[in-house]
Amino acid sequence: MEEAGLEGRFLIAMPGIGDDRFQRSVILVCAHSDQGAMGLVVNQRADSINFDELLEQLDIEPNEKTSATPIRIGGPVESGRGFVLHSKDYRGETALNIADKFMLTGTVDILRDIASGKGPEKRIIALGYTGWGAGQLEQEIQQNGWLACDAVPEIVYDEADDDKWVAALSELGVSPELLSAGGGSA
């Protein structure tokens, strides 16, 4: 797969995205090639389940430190599949390095390590993911659906979910009040 350049970057939903599932979304692009792209929405909390409940479903004993681990809706694709987006201080055998800023692990081993206190210091759990076929993401960007900027770990891990969209726009020097739902072409 040829590298296409958006891996490790944020996609910031424009006001006219046209899909309610992505209104004010910030997506971290985890993989991008000429074959397509995969990313995780990092600012939509999953209210239907908390991390301790997830661990109990997997027969893993939660502890006082696990309850603070947020669960996000990573996207509409395979919503029953989970991913841990985490800091580089944890490198399991199956962890994917994303632009040397983030790691992504999709196996239950990391959940056991988190519960036993051996997991990554910073992390979010994402259920599902966002995916695009070949050329689809590039077309959505051209149609003014997304802005792209370098991803910032502090925005992913430290900002409140409701503040991440504005924080990501700030990385571009863009004020939300100046955005338009319509786009033009030159």
- The first and second tokens of residue 72, run together, are 């996000």
Task: Please tell me the pTM assigned to this model.
Answer: 0.90
What helix, strand, coil percent values describe the chain, rounded to 5? 25, 30, 45
Q: Which residue has the tokens 């259920």?
A: 127
Instruction: Identify the helix (H) or strand (E) that includes residue 9.
Output: strand 9-13
Cα 159 from Cα 139, distance rounded (Å): 29
**What is the arithmetic mean of pLDDT over 42-56?**
91
Say which DSSP state 43 is in: S
Where residue 36 falls among pLDDT bands split at 50, 70, 90? very high
Cα 94 from Cα 57, distance rounded (Å): 22
Provide Rg for the chain, Cα atoms. Answer: 17
- The first and second tokens of residue 163, run together, are 């503040």
Residue 48, classed as helix, strand or coil, is: coil
Listed by start position, the domains of the chain span 9-178
CATH superfamily, domain at 9-178: VC0467-like (3.40.1740.10)
**Identity (one letter) of the amino acid at 150?**
D
- Whole-angstrom CA distances from 114 to 30, 79, 102, 117, 121 are 21, 21, 17, 5, 9
Q: Supply the pLDDT for residue 184.
A: 53
- For the chain, percent of residues with pLDDT exceeding 90: 70
Cα 151 from Cα 27, distance rounded (Å): 9
Q: Look at residues 137, 158, 157, 132 and name the one whose alpha carbon lies nearest to residue 148.
A: 137
Q: Answer with the residue of higher pLDDT: 168 or 179.
A: 168
